Amino acid sequence: MLPPALEGKIGAGHLVTVPFGRQTAQGVVLELIGQPAVAETKPIFDLLDPLPVLTGAQLELARQMAGSSLNPLAAIIDMMLPSGLGQQADVLFTLSNPQSSISDQQFSATQSRILTLLKEKGSLRGRQIDRHFDKVDWRKAAQYLVHRGVLASQSILPPPTVRPKFVRTVQLAVPLDQAEAALPDLGRTTATLVRRQSALRLLMRDPDAVNVAWVYAESGCNLADLQELDERGLVVLRETEIWRDPLEKIESSQPGRENSSIPFELTPDQQRAWEAIQAAFQPCSRRPFLFLLHGVTGSGKTELYLRAAAEVIRRGKQALILVPEIAITPQMVRRFLARFPGQVGLVHSRLSPGERYDTWRRARLGLLKVIIGPRSALFAPLPAVGLIVADECHDGSYYQSEPPFYHAVEAAKIYARLCEAPCILGSATPTIQQRYQSELGDSLRLELPKRIQFFNNPSDSAGLPPVTIIDMRDELKSGRRGIFSQALMEALEQVLKKGQQAILFLNRRGTATYVFCRECGTVAKCPQCDTPLTFHAEGLSDLRCHRCGYTRKMFEVCPHCHSHQIRAYGLGSEKVESEARELFPAARVLRWDWETTRQKDAHEIILGHFAAHRADILVGTQMLAKGLDLPLVTLVGIVLADVGLSLPDPFGAERTFSLLTQVAGRAGRSALGGRVVLQTFQPEHYAIQAASRHDYAGFYARELDERRKLGYPPFSRLVRLEYRAFDPVKAEAEARLMAVRLSKEIVMDERIQTDLIGPVPCFFAKMGGWYRWQIVLRGPEPGSMLRGIPMTGWRVEVDPVSLL
Ligand code: ADP
Ligand code: ZN
Ligand code: ZN
């Protein structure tokens, strides 16, 4: 119910306080309705911000996301708001009669302390009082005082913890001769006189408003001195609200490789793509608005994003540019900064709450024309979204793998449609799903098959580096048991001799090991479902199938060739690093993985270090695959390509192909050329073969076939249900109960096309002390059967990106 005072001021998207039980809670107004559905409604207490915190398009996006992902609407809305806004309500305590003395009456020690505190400080919020009472439960005492009428209590929302930053400035307020005349008579003691004189002289030299911190530093004066000058009318002191700018650091620290402020002349391929994109901006009825920009690394995709953003700004709207991880794409960020100075806002996981809040407010006011950031940047409250780009749209980081689960690329597509904005998905390796959708006509595919610098090259080479496959089984046969093959060692040696750089890539996911024969390459598989078995040292039975639950003990000899060389295999980047150091003592080796990048700015530091050629070899994991442009890198060594292939996951081959192709694309980005050495125990695997030829089309055709045969997406949809418990017995029991319940549902609904897979322990069966069990539903529309089934305690993922 709207109280009369708020009539006309509140609408959809406003942040308000409402009574919630005996407390006050924050809420976002979803819509205003004339006839409430429930008999008893409560009045809205207050409006917390005169502007809506969510736009209409955002509200609709939240509704659709909640609907399609089975997340609660509140969880989605909560995620869209910056954290400073989502605070819990607090209680404000006020003395009823501040004049009456405390000692007059009979109070307990705690009661007296509360009263004394409030007398001294004025009204205080509960959380403020907490700080004065270490380990004392003062709330009971306070309640008693409220009951007796000594204190008044009121539910309120505390002010946001994050506030805009202010800077104090000072500026000369009189003509120069008048300031000159005032100089001799500025203070009684010599010390103050000298300080004030030098401050005033400084301001006489600089006509602009100056940050006081600078004046302090230059003249030795203090705030009192400046206040004195202000009182005399010689200067004006002002507080100016400034926007925190998280880009300051990036802009100044690393100068760009090229000056990107001038647009290039487009290549014919780019031109074709650009014409299609440009058409989407024209207001007409039946235009394609969703594009799959399929272009190899270095083919000029970013240039098209820049053009599209310029077009949008010209039309008075804003652009959202999503990237997998901002710390890893400084080059892309710099190009946007150079092209649109002062108009770009960054959303970044390492922003302080204050920085985040500022960016949010600037976006809401339409002051920022371009927002760049990872998946959460999609929720920047831009007033008129005119373009959404998802660069490297295949990347796994677009999926939020904690509740509320959602896929930012899917959400971007929904949002773009709601905003009637063109949406560009760009990648060298779109997912099978994304490519399949373009085949169905859901998106328009635009192809950039060649690297820019090879565009005028008459050969049919796309400019991608040649890949040499090394069969590691042969290495073993010739007695080399190290991490590096002969070929990779020689290649490294050459690169180091020439003073160039090398990247050593390790697909670290899956150090949880699988088992294979070093003689014949046979991977131990489940006899029931052909899924690779994984090795778990902690269990009773060493080998486990994570698809059907089959277990057995570790093999003594290879079931295929009877060799004793059957081993569990796992390999860490530390090991690669130390072996590289041993082999090449003179080389400077740098490691880049999740362990070395925990501290703030570590990505930038390591990358900057390597880019500045302060290291020769960079050893790293998945991050290396993401959009780096390092011209001195002429060798990429893929230490073990097939780890990801042997995991029990229908998306394993796709992920491996994409990673290998992306990593291989890091080599030879300049005129120096480059090559890739790919080590594997499964050289014949189609994902390895296709990646070694940079052959997306070949991989796509084969993988699509596999998916069709096995009935996996895009030929079905999946829902993954996970139960976690500290007690393994409980985890299993809950999973079995749910499986029975869902099996009945499938029969009752006659969902003959829906399978229930499981229940089985997850591949990563134990995580942070939790035992994990899962059930996978597969069918045309498996999510719909869950509506109405209580899923308390379950994590429900619609269209998961992995089943591990
Ligand atoms: P991608 O985003 O596909 O990896 P980029 O847009 O980064 O490709 O382009 C690769 C390189 O080519 C960049 O250095 C970029 O500045 C340059 N470039 C892009 N388009 C052109 C063009 N039309 N003419 C000349 N250079 C270009
Ligand atoms: Zn099995
Ligand atoms: Zn064997």
| Closest C-alpha residue for ligand 1 atom 10 | 298
Instruction: Tell me, using a 6 A CB cutoff, whether residue 270 lines ligand 1.
Output: yes
Distance of CA 514 from the midpoint of ligand 2 (Å)? 14
Check pocket membership of 297 for ligand 1, CB cut-off 6 A: yes
What is the CA(426)–ligand 1 centre distance, in A? 14
Nearest listed ligand to the Cα of residue 531: 2
What is the distance in A from the centroid of ligand 3 to the CA of 522? 5
Distance between CA atoms of residues 486 and 489, nearest Å: 5
Separation between Cα atoms, residue 425 and residue 435, nearest integer Å? 10
d(CA 382, CA 384): 6
Question: Which of ligand 1's atoms lies nearest the C-alpha of 257?
Answer: 14
Distance CA(332)–CA(274), nearest Å, equals 19
426 lines ligand 1 (CB under 6 A): no
Best substitution site from 266, 274, 303 to test ligand 1's pocket, by max atoms within 8 Å of Cβ? 303
Q: Which residues contact 496 (CB under 8 A, 6 or more apart)?
A: 502, 584, 586, 587, 616, 617
Question: 556 C-alpha to center of ligand 3: Å?
Answer: 11
Instruction: Report whether 157 contacts 87 (CB < 8 A).
Output: yes
Q: Does ligand 1 have an atom closer than 6 angstroms to the CB of 400? A: no
Q: What is the pLDDT of residue 543?
A: 81
Measured from the alpha carbon of residue 529, the closest ligand is 2
151, 118 Cβ separation under 8 angstroms: yes
Q: Cα(632)–Cα(499) distance, rounded to whole angstroms?
A: 9
CA distances from 682 to 368, 515, 642, 700 (A): 50, 13, 7, 19
Give the number of the atom of ligand 1 that is nearest the alpha carbon of residue 391.
Answer: 2
Contact 633, 498 (CB under 8 A): no
| Paired residues of 121 in beta bridges | none
Query: What pTM value is reported for the model?
Result: 0.76
Instruction: Kindly give the number of the ligand 1 atom that is closest to the alpha carbon of 296.
Output: 3
Q: How many Cβ atoms from other residues are within 10 Å of residue 683's Cβ?
A: 19
Residue 362 confidence (pLDDT): 85
CB 301 within 8 A of CB 314: no
Looking up tokens 């899923």, which residue turns up?
Answer: 791
Of all ligands present, the nearest one to the C-alpha of 271 is 1
Q: How far apart are CA 254 and CA 604, in angstroms?
A: 9
pLDDT of residue 338: 82
> Cα–Cα distance between 494 and 472 in angstroms, integer?
21
Contact 329 CB / ligand 1 (< 6 Å)? no
Q: Parallel, antiparallel, or unpaired: how do β-strands 406-407 and 290-295 relate?
A: unpaired
Q: Can you tell me whether residue 68 is helix, strand or coil?
A: helix
- Ligand 1 near 779 CB (within 6 A): no
Taking a C-beta distance cutoff of 8 angstroms, is the pair 648, 765 a contact?
no
Q: DSSP assignment, residue 465?
A: P
Question: Which numbered ligand comes closest to the C-alpha of 566?
Answer: 3
User: Which helix or strand (DSSP H or E) is residue 231 part of?
Assistant: helix 223-231
Distance between CA atoms of 117 and 102, rounded to whole angstroms?
11
User: Which residue of 257, 261, 301, 452 sits with most ligand 1 atoms within 8 Å of its CB, as the best mutation to test the pocket?
Assistant: 452
- Report the residue among 277, 291, 302 best suited for mutation to probe ligand 1: largest number of ligand atoms under 8 A from its CB: 302
Closest atom, ligand 1, to C-alpha of 453: 12
Q: Which pLDDT does position 180 carry in this prediction?
A: 92
The CA distances from residue 232 to 120, 178, 193, 235, in Å, are 35, 12, 14, 8
Instruction: Specify whether the CB–CB gap between 277 and 389 falls below 8 A.
Output: no
Euclidean distance between CA atoms 140 and 138, whole angstroms? 6
The response to whether residue 300 sits with its C-beta less than 6 Å from ligand 1 reads yes
Residue with tokens 């059967």: 785
Which residues, given as ranges, of the chain have pLDDT below 70?
1, 5-6, 23-25, 34-41, 45-48, 84-90, 103-105, 154-167, 240-263, 284-288, 354, 454-462, 508-513, 529-531, 536-541, 546-547, 569-572, 593-602, 604, 626-628, 768
Q: Which atom of ligand 1 is nearest to the CA of 266?
A: 23
CA trace torsion 684, 686, 688, 692 (10° rounding): 100
In this prediction, residue 137 carries a pLDDT of 83
Q: What phi and psi, each to the nearest 5 degrees, are found at residue 342? A: 75, 0
What does the pLDDT read at residue 699?
97
- The backbone torsions φ and ψ at residue 305, rounded to the nearest 5 degrees and listed phi first, read -60, -40
Cβ–ligand 1 distance for 302 under 6 Å, the answer yes
Buried b (16+ CB within 10 A) or exposed e, 282-291: eeeeeeebbb
What Rg do the C-alpha atoms of the chain give, in angstroms?
A: 32
Taking CA atoms only, the protein residue closest to ligand 1 atom 24 is 264
